[in-house]
Chains A and B, each alone.
Chain A
Amino acid sequence: DGGITQSPKYLFRKEGQNVTLSCEQNLNHDAMYWYRQDPGQGLRLIYYSQIVNDFQKGDIAEGYSVSREKKESFPLTVTSAQKNPTAFYLCASSMWGYGEQYFGPGTRLTVT
Chain B
Amino acid sequence: DQQVKQNSPSLSVQEGRISILNCDYTNSMFDYFLWYKKYPAEGPTFLISISSIKDKNEDGRFTVFLNKSAKHLSLHIVPSQPGDSAVYFCAAREQGGSEKLVFGKGTKLTVNP
Contacts and interface: CB of A to CB of B under 8 A. Distances in A.
Interface in B29-54: 32, 34, 36, 41-46, 49
B11 interface: no
Majority SS at the chain B contact face: strand
* Residue from B4, B9, B91, B101 with most neighbouring chain A CB atoms (10 Å): B101
Contacts, number: 55
Given A42-B89, A42-B106, A43-B89, A99 B42 contact: no
B59 interface: no
Interface in A63-112: 88, 90, 92, 94, 96-97, 99-106, 108
A48 B100 contact: yes
A88 B41 CA distance: 8
Contacts of A105: 42-43
Given A43-B101, A94-B99, A106-B42, 9 more contacts: A6-B43, A42-B103, A43-B91, A45-B101, A48-B99, A90-B43, A105-B43, A106-B41, A106-B43
